[in-house]
Structures are given as structure tokens and as C-alpha cells.
Structure 1
Amino acid sequence: MVEITRRNFLGAIGVGAGGLAAGGTLAGCTGSGTAGESGTDFAMPTFQAAPELEIEPFHTSDTPGMQNVYTEQVTTFFKSVDREPGSGGTVTSFQLTWGEPSDPLEENQYWQELNERLGVSFEPTFVPQPTFDQKFSTMLASGEVPDLVFVNDQSAVNLQGIRDGAFADLSDVLAGDNILEWPNLAARKEEIWRASLKDGRIYQVPSTVWAITSLIAMRTDLLEQTGIGTAPTDADQLLTVLREVTALGTGPGGQPVYGVSKYDPPMWRWIFKTGPDWRLGDDGGLVFVAQTEEYRQMLTWLANAWDEGVFDPVAMTANPADIVSGSGLQYRSVTDSFTALGFTQNEMDTPGAKMDFFDVPGYDGTAPVITRNVPYGRSTCVSAAAAEDEDRLVEILNVLDYLSAPYGSEEALFIGSGIEG
């Protein structure tokens, strides 16, 4: 029997990891902006929340933009796509890949099943991250733009494709209630669409993204040995804690330890309340973060902390393999805390280690300032040439809508996990 290579295939096409716009918001109210309210010459796409999950959230937040936290697995799945499969034609894509290439279609049962469910022959072109911009330029220059193209709008090379007209203006197609034809794409709030506009128009279908994707973790077994403990209340107490952790020399398993092993700027920017990269000044102009008093205070504190020896001497390295010491505090991704690589694995790998989340203090004893992510993640554009055929455009958007199925749906279960057995 041929092995199902769902993991390799998904790693290549990026489904579920953001290579194509994927996922939907889990909660919220419906509604749409009008042309006058949105400041554009079209109605912003109507927001339609995905169906509620059958399980209750473990934690909810009153902070705008924060998602619910679930500790139970969904066992009953809803159908998010209620339409006939496609016409049997071909839909192509140009996608960033972080993983190994998938097995060829003829050897890949997962890919074959995906085509069956989509009703089209899905033909992706996988491009490794190191060469993506170069290949992107070559693709644009060829004039042969695939139907669906991953576009990193933080890249000038990628943005050039929008400026040059290679991708379709989807503003009118997705405006107002029009988007309800694609319910999984409609599960994006107005702030997500608005943040991704280019020249006030929709050229990208943005993916949803968590408001916060990283956090600060601590080794409680180390911090508990300090005079202040696991809850310093300001920058002075924090420096004392880190100094005393470094003074321990080694952890319970004999590993050398420092207050901080790796320098991660966001952690310190939260503590010193520097806020986003740009802010409005008193004169109405933009002020860059490095020009602020908070940033100066942060640099002064960090320079002193470095002199105090609370950082591993290789903490500024670009090569993670250089860091072999343990760390009192760590800045790490949310998924790196909860998955198989998370806290439990850390504790198994380091005898005596105990991991927990760190309650971040503001430098002056008040609350920290945590800057949320840009409201949208990686985006997908549609070829302008393909969009000239209305029926073909609908079929392309149908494929993208299927791949954007939210957690808890039958479609997302298949995309993420394949078929049992």
C-alpha cells in the first residue's frame, strides 16, 4: 500500500501554516461596512463568523482581537463548504514551502483525495523560502502567473506584482454580502481586510492570525531560588532576579545557566513599553520607536544588565546551536510552548527543570505594553489573467475557500489530518 504523505504535502503547500490564506475566526458578530463607513468606494466584505464549536473555551478575554483558548479537542465536526465540487479543470498555485517537497501526485493518496474533494486538479508549484523572491521575479517576468499566488507584502519584490497589475482587484467581487458565497473567506473581520488593503482596494485574500504569537516563559525551578522569586514587579527587581539566576552557575541537571541565554528584543520592548515601531507624535507626525524616551531607557537598562553578566556571552548569536546554557527567561512562540516541543518536553530533557508562563512586569511597576501583531497574516492573490473569466474566478475562489476552512470543520480536519487509517 502506498504511504499517505499528508505531512510532507502540507509542509510543502503550506495549508494550515499560512502558505495559502487559511483558517477562520472562531467567534464574533456578523456585520458589514458601507462604502461611506469604510472610507473606500466599495462596501467592505461582510463578516460572517464560523459556526461555534461544540466545546466550551477554557479561557476567554475581553481584550479586542484575542482568541478563545480551548483545552478540549473537537469531536463533532461541521461542514463548512456546501457546494458541488469543481468542474474538473485545473487550478494552479505558486507557494512558499518550509518543508520537504511532497511525493508526486501518482504516489500521493492524500493529494489524490484533495483533488477529488475539490473537484479540480490542484497543481501547486513549491518554492523554498531562500529562493522565493528570486523565483517570484522570474515568474512575473515570464507573464505566466499561476491562478493562486502567495504574496508576502513585506517584500518589495512581491509588492511589485500588485503594482504591475499581475493580480486581480477583488474589491467588487468580495464586497459586502458578495463574499458570503465563500463563507470561509467571510470569516475575517473588517480590520483584517482593512489592514491588507493596497491603495484602498482588495488585491489579497489575507489569512487570519493570532493577536499574540509569542510569549515569555520562565524556569520556575531557577527563579524560585532567588530572593524575589517568580514575580518581580519592576525592572529593578527583574535585574536582581536575573543576576541571582546567573549566580547559580548551574541548574539542577548540571547545565550552565544564565538569567537570559538569547537576546530577543520584543521581550524587553514589552517591559519598557516602547509600543509599536511607529507612533503619532504631538505634532501629528510619525515618530520611530528608537527616537522615544522609553527606548532610550530600555537600552540603558540592557547595557547595564549585559555588564552585570545576566546574559549568556553568546546571547546575540544568529546560530541557535551556539547556545547550550539554560535560561531563567525565554521568549518563545505560543506553539513552541504547547506542542510536543513545549514545556513538557523541556522538563523531560532537563532533569529538575520546571516551566511556566512569566507574568511580565512593566519597568516602572505598572502594566507592560504588549504590541499585537498586524491583524492579518500571509496572503494569497489571484492571477489577473485568470480572473478575466468570471466562471474560472469563481472556481479559483471556491478552491481557496475550501483550503481556508476553520478549525472544527470537516474540511479542516481533512486538510490537517487526512483520513483515519
Structure 2
Amino acid sequence: MEQTTRPTTPSLPGHRGPARRSVLGSVAAGAALVAVPGALGACTSQEQAAAPQDGPLSEADLAAVLPAYRPLTLAEPDIPGVDGSTPGYTTVPTTLVKSVPEVPGSGGTYTAMSPAWWTTPPGIDKNSYFQAVNAALGATVEFQVSDGNTYADKLQAVLASPKNVPDWVVIPTWNVPPRFEQGVTALFADLTDHLAGDKVLKYPNLANLPTDAWKYCVFNGRLYGLPYPSELVGNALFYRRDLFGQLGLAAPTSADELLQVAKDATDPAARRWGCEDIWDGAQLLFGCTDWTVRDGKLLSRFENENYREAIEFMRELFASGAVHPDAVAGNTQQAKDRFESGQTLISADGLGGWAEALARVLPSNPAYDQQPMDWFAPDGGAPTLYKSQPVSIFSFIKKTDDAAAIDEMLALANFIAAPFGSEEFQLVNYGTEGTTFERDAAGAPALNDRGTTEVTSTYGFLVSPPIVNAKVQFPQYVRDFCDWMARQAPHVTEPVFYGQQIQDPSQYSSLGKPFDDLAKDIIRGRQDVSALDAAVKEWRNSGGDELRAYREKFLTGDEAS
């Protein structure tokens, strides 16, 4: 599965962004994939699996399976998007639109498996939010919520037993298992005949989803997934602008300045260090991505000189003493706490973590000011940013001969995918006024204590409307976010294989794993940089060259040139 970055923090209501709580994961190819032999073995027992793709789909093939695109704007954004950047809303419309006139469900009951990177919400019997949304849906969705940090293992167990697969399954893109293109045809419903072309117009909110997102839901030439679209750029290097100001520091604009400002901010006697372990941010800073084409040759991340340069930069950063000792020791669980308390002043994170931090810190520290740095090239020039893959999370409907059940679930998805400015969006994101949310002085909805417990990204993980920033409780944050994204947008380019569903042969799925530990060791001075040369040679000899040859089949004419 081609992937450039991983979502890192859960999206808060009103901010339809990527989702994962843990620190930014390795973006190395194949890093988080697990095999699901039971599920894949079930393919042959249930039906003959479709042949995996062996090259990019033609435009004609894609056109035959993709839903028509009919953009829908219920409320004009206060901050329009620029070059694909995120539009923003700082105010709530006076009147919300009912985008789904009739109750979409017809009384069905469906189980749904979903991850959570937060405390598991109460079950449906004790959850007023679930009860309110289900009542509006006219159907019952019973969530089976699992710990997001171990979700891959849970998927492995569930998909290995087809009889136990829930009716609706959420799969983050970084948890899609090897050979899934074989198992998907046996386990999940083919949605092509329900949604392709003008058939999607029966579901206007689904027709509002971007075409690139639907493309990424195509497996073996057929449409299977429902998308949770991604941000144009998903990650940033954040700094504490409030503390920078107190210390007389300026945001860096080159790699050398970043190193220097981290050292200048460090004062162990004051229990303050310049940064966390920003290895994942450094890879983005140095333009590392899974695959690139140089002089007509396809190169992996590890073979690129910029990967080595990123390691060398991090090695110097660690040697300088500017990295918090706990981060040096590998303690990432407390990274957010250290950054938010001012023990560290620079950290790498997903953009969803920004709003999350504000909600957590501002009540006790109104002066708190976390900002993303504008990306820059290592030498201080214009950066090269790689567009996030168009989908960060999928959901799949279990295969069934009951076409009416599939239609009902798609009708529910249409309700859930309602955009900002709709009654449905407010319900899905906040629940019911007076029960799970109240309004602030400006009329913006804000979760109360009960809402904080009950309202989580459950329905939203099944399908999501196009990305917007609608955290109207934090209007300055919305402006800062959208302005930052608009400044980055001109520097964004599509990575090789952008938007293609490619799964590497399972024998190559762990080829990149040794680089995870090796990078940590080199950065911390436990191994010399020269150890990278031997690792790259071993990668090539152990199947890297064969993997490259496999990937080359998916190059388009523009990418190959």
C-alpha cells in the first residue's frame, strides 16, 4: 500500500482531519502491515479471488467504476481553499440545512468495527449520542470499538474468521494487510453497481466526495471502500510560539537554523530542551518519500541521498544535547505532555493534534500558542512537499446477497457524509444540544462533559465529507490553520504512485523494517552512518530489486520520464 504519511491524532468534532493518537509513525514502506492468512485463505473457499492488479488502471477502466462528482456547498467558507488547501469556517451558519430530507434507514441493525485512540465510549445502552444518531438514521449501528494502537492485531483476528466479520468494518490505510486485494473480493461487498457513475446521485452527500478519494477505494478494478478523505498536507513541525517570544527566538527557515534554535532553547537547569525526537518531521523536511524517480530509475526511500542527509541531521541534533532525555531514551508516550508543558519547544505531529492540544491546554493556559513552522528546504529554499494520499481511512461493507441491506447502509453513509452547514453534520459531530453539547457566547457548539465522554469519531470513521476546518470554537486557530495550509499548497507535488491502490507482494512487506531500528541507532550514535550502506545492500539483495521491478509496472508515462 503506497503511503507517504500516516495520520497521527484523532480528529475532533468539527475538524474533519486524519486520525491517530500515537506519535507520528514511521513512514517507511511496509512498516505497519500485517498478514491475514486466514482471511485470504477464505477467498478460495468462498469464491475464486480476483486477480490482483498488475499495472495502473486505464482512465477508461476507472471511469467505468467511479461515482460521478457533484460538489455540494451548504455554507460558503469564511476562508476559501487555495490550490487545494483546506477551507475554513470561523462562524456557524444562522440556519442549518437539512441535507437528507427523509429518514434514511428502514429499521435495520448493523454491527460496525471501529478503532479508537481515546477512552472507549459507553455502549449504546448508556450512550445518548449513539441513541440520538441512530434515531435520526432510522437504523441501529452497534459499534464494536477497539484500541487503535492494537487495531491491526484485532483486524487480523476478525478477518481470519469470515463468519465473525461485522457488517461494517473500518480499516485505516496503514492497517491494510498484505494480499488484501485478494481477500477484499471474498469478504466485502462490491459497491460498483450501487455507486458508479450517476448511480451515486441517489446519495448526494456521497457524490460530493472528491474523485481522487474514490479512486483510492478501487481494488482489482472495482469499487469497494467508502472514503475518509485526507488533508493536502498531513503533518508539521510545531513550535511553541509563546515561549519562542519569551526567549527571543525566531522560527527557523533552514535546517541549520532549526539545529541552532533547538540548541539555543535548551537549558537543562530550567528543565527545558529544544525539541522532541523529530525524526519523522526531518524526513519530510529533507523530502523523503517512499519512492521517487531519478534519471529514469525508480528509487526507494532508503536509496535516496536525502534519507541519509535526514539521518545525519538528526544525528547532529541528538549529539547537540537539544533533544529531551526521555525522547532520547525512546519515551514517546509523554511527548505531547512535555511539549504542552514547555519542557520541549519543538515537536513533530499530525495536524489533528493542533486542535486537540488547544482544547486540552487553553482552559488552564490562555497564553498557550502552538504553531506549525512553514516547511522549507534544508538549505532554506522552497520546500518539496508530497501530497498525502487522498484517503486516510476506509470502511467496507460485509459481503451479502441482501442488496436492500447494502442500499440501506449506503443511505446511512449518505447521512453521515453530510457537509458542514447541515443539521446532519452537527448531529454526527456534536450530538444533541443540551445533552452532549452547549453553545458558547458566539453560538459555536462545544461538547460538555457528557459529550466529551460519548461523542467520538465512530460514525465519522465510516465515511467523512470533504475536508474542512470547522473548529468554530477556536476561530483564530481556524485562520492560522487555513493560512498555513494555503502557504504550503504551492509547494505540494504528487508522489510517485499517487492515488493508486498498490499492494506489494507479501514476501516484501517487511523489507523496510530493519531500517527503523537502524535509523534510531545511527541517530543516537550507537552505530556509524556507514552502516546504512550495508543495510541498503542487504535490502537490494533480499528482495528490494525485485520489489522495485514489481513497482515499475505501475509507473505511468509521466512518472517514468
Structure 1 or 2: more helix by fraction:
2
Which structure 1 residue ranges, 5 or more long, are not aligned? 1-9, 20-34
Out of 48, 66, 73, the position equivalent to 1:44 is 66
1:183-262 maps to which residues of 2 (within 5 A)?
183-220=204-241, 222-224=243-245, 229-246=249-266, 248-249=267-268, 255-260=270-275, 262=276
Structure 2 partner of 1:28: none
Structure 2 partner of 1:63: 83
CA distance in 2, matches of 1:125, 1:304: 46
1:112-151 maps to which residues of 2 (within 5 A)?
112-129=131-148, 132-140=151-159, 141-151=161-171
How many residues are paired up?
378
Higher relative contact order (CA 8 A, sep 6+): 2
Q: Note if 1:94 corresponds to 2:108.
A: no
TM-score w.r.t. structure 1 length? Answer: 0.78
State the secondary structure of the residue aligned to 1:273.
coil
Q: 1:97 to 1:334 in 2, by over 3 A?
A: closer
- Amino acid aligned to 1:44: L
State the secondary structure of the residue aligned to 2:393.
strand
Mapped contact 2:361–2:368 kept (Cα < 8 A): no
Tell me how large the CA RMSD over aligned residues is: 3.4
CA distance in 2, matches of 1:321, 1:289: 29
CA distance in 1, matches of 2:247, 2:218: 50
State the secondary structure of the residue aligned to 2:186.
coil
**TM-superposition CA deviations, 1:2-57 (whole Å, max 9, x none):** xxxxxxxx99xxx97889xxxxxxxxxxxxxxx97354371421112232415x42
Structure 2 partner of 1:264: 278
In the TM superposition, residue 71 of structure 1 has moved relative to its aligned partner by 2.3
Which structure 2 residue ranges, 5 or more long, are not aligned? 1-9, 20-56, 435-561
Mapped contact 2:120–2:146 kept (Cα < 8 A): no
TM-score w.r.t. structure 2 length? Answer: 0.60
1:6-405 maps to which residues of 2 (within 5 A)?
37-40=59-62, 42-54=64-76, 56-58=77-79, 60-64=80-84, 66-129=85-148, 132-140=151-159, 141-154=161-174, 155-156=176-177, 159=180, 162-163=183-184, 165-220=186-241, 222-224=243-245, 229-246=249-266, 248-249=267-268, 255-260=270-275, 262-274=276-288, 276-284=289-297, 286-316=298-328, 317-321=330-334, 324=338, 326-339=343-356, 341-342=357-358, 345=361, 348-349=364-365, 355-385=370-400, 388-405=401-418
State the secondary structure of the residue aligned to 2:324.
coil
In the TM superposition, residue 347 of structure 1 has moved relative to its aligned partner by 9.7
CA distance in 1, matches of 2:368, 2:115: 37
- Amino acid aligned to 1:377: S
Mapped contact 2:104–2:415 kept (Cα < 8 A): no
CA distance in 1, matches of 2:180, 2:199: 26
CA distance in 1, matches of 2:430, 2:363: 28
**TM-superposition CA deviations, 1:135-169 (whole Å, max 9, x none):** 43444415243321213343317937834611011
Mapped contact 2:213–2:390 kept (Cα < 8 A): yes
Q: 1:169 to 1:240 in 2, by over 3 A?
A: same
126-135 or 75-84: bigger deviation: 126-135
State the secondary structure of the residue aligned to 2:409.
helix
Mapped contact 1:170–1:202 kept (Cα < 8 A): yes
**TM-superposition CA deviations, 1:252-292 (whole Å, max 9, x none):** xxx421221x1122321233233x221123234x3112211
